[in-house]
Amino acid sequence: MKRTILLFFLILPLCLLKAQIIKGRVVNDTGSLIPNVNIYIDGTRTATVSKEDGSFSLSISSGTFGNVVFQKDDYETFSAAVSELMNKNLKVVLTKTNAIEEIRLVPYTPEAYTNYINYFLDTFIGSDRENVRIKNQKSLKFSYDKKNRFLKVKAPNTLIIENKNLGYEIQYNLISYSSDFKTNMVNYTGTSFFKETKGTEKIKLNRMNAYDGSMLHFFRSIYNNTIPADKFVVNHVVKVPNPKYPTEEELKTLENFRQMVKSSGMTKIPENISDISQRKNSQTPYSLAIVKTLIPDSDYVERKDGKVLFSFKDMLQVNYQKYFYDMKGKELVKSQFPVQLSSFLHPEGETFEVSKEGNISNPDLLINEGDFSKNKIENMLPLDYQLGD
């Protein structure tokens, strides 16, 4: 059932227009005031909570880009662009979530949770289970479609994620998570709010290492027009079909044979089927070819009317030589040998606006592969992070 969230604007006096403030009150669909609603700029440490009378006031630094999120468990999460809410007296109406589950062909089961929890943690959190953990992990629900090999995960409650390495507690509102095992594609979206838990010199160092060469670093370099100065190397890449990979017709033949085996119990595999299966497992659908190296950022960045826009019709390879830093006593020491990072971005012709914080509009539409895709929650920094924090 489609749910509607209403938002009403009352214009403030002109004398207040210079103040960078988002303020108003939160009510439910019957008009009752809602206290303790989390209100934050997505992906940052900027937040507040609605008071007992539902009122709130959130100060925003000049030029802030992104979404304001209104979130409370058992209510539908609402978000809107900062620019739409600035300097207006807001009445935000949140609706209760539907407590009755829709009938699903593929149910969420404890068995699916047990079978796929480690895979989910690897692809969402990362590999460091000792220092990065979801405190309320048991609230997660898993659904696995065996026929289509498709995994879905939902979080009825806000996930509380502790990251000891970076000194943050993250309140993560997981909107969607899915993994297609046929294509090895993982997609997840959500909103997040960061709370500082520690600020030791070691943690500051870990944050610096997490930032260096990250996608956040790259998009800040785009905004600041410092791609060459920051040592990023960007190449133009195209996909080249792999002639050894099975055709669509061969893949359909393979799938039809599998279905026949299930129903008939056949054990002997024909030679042509074995060949298709072997090529499917050993080959990739396409290879990547670099057609131009060291392309200027003018090939994929447009600066227009005070905005920085990122777009490219093909793919971009982003290379970076990363030197890790460590502490020896009180001295910061740079590693002797760099690690070569290589990532691929698929803008697919979409246009993304880049903010000064390194955020982009519609981030779920930008496909990334390689080292950028390895930056899970364990390496995630708030958008308002600055070197030295």
DSSP for 239-265, written as a single string: EEE-TTSPPHHHHHHHHHHHHHHHHH-
**Per-residue pLDDT at 173 exceeds 80:** yes
Same domain, 210 and 311: yes
Residue range of the domain that includes 379: 199-242+285-389
**Per-residue pLDDT at 274 exceeds 60:** yes
The whole-angstrom separation of Cα 313 and Cα 284 is 22
Q: Which of 204-208, 254-258, 260-264 has the lowest average pLDDT? A: 260-264
Same domain, 336 and 211: yes
What pTM, to 2 d.p., does this model score?
0.80
Mean pLDDT value across residues 190-210: 93
pLDDT band at 245 (very low <50, low <70, confident <90, very high): very high
The whole-angstrom separation of Cα 228 and Cα 219 is 13
- On whether residue 2 sits in a domain, the answer given is no
Same domain, 205 and 224: yes
Q: Are 165 and 206 in contact (CB under 8 A)?
A: yes
The whole-angstrom separation of Cα 265 and Cα 25 is 64
DSSP line for 15-54: GGTTS-EEEEEEEETTS-B--S-EEEETTBS-EEE--TTS
CATH no. for residue 25? 2.60.40.1120
Which pLDDT does position 331 carry in this prediction? 83
Same domain, 253 and 263: yes
- On whether residue 271 sits in a domain, the answer given is yes
Same domain, 293 and 208: yes
Same domain, 207 and 295: yes
> How confident is the prediction for the chain on average, in pLDDT?
88
How many C-beta neighbours within 10 Å does residue 307 have? 11
Same domain, 119 and 172: yes
Domain end point (choices 94, 114, 129): 94
Same domain, 176 and 207: no
pLDDT band at 174 (very low <50, low <70, confident <90, very high): very high
Q: Which of 96-105, 138-147, 150-159, 187-196 has the lowest average pLDDT? A: 96-105
Same domain, 84 and 148: no
**Per-residue pLDDT at 267 exceeds 90:** no
pLDDT in tens, 75-108: 989 999 888 898 889 999 999 886 445 446 788 9
- On whether residue 1 sits in a domain, the answer given is no
Same domain, 153 and 61: no
Q: State the total domains in the chain.
A: 4
The whole-angstrom separation of Cα 33 and Cα 14 is 27
pLDDT band at 373 (very low <50, low <70, confident <90, very high): confident
- On whether residue 275 sits in a domain, the answer given is yes
- On whether residue 82 sits in a domain, the answer given is yes
Half-sphere exposure of 313 (CA within 13 A, CB side): 1
Which pLDDT does position 16 carry in this prediction? 41
Residue 285: C-alpha distances to residues 111, 210, 228, 258 (Å): 33, 32, 33, 20
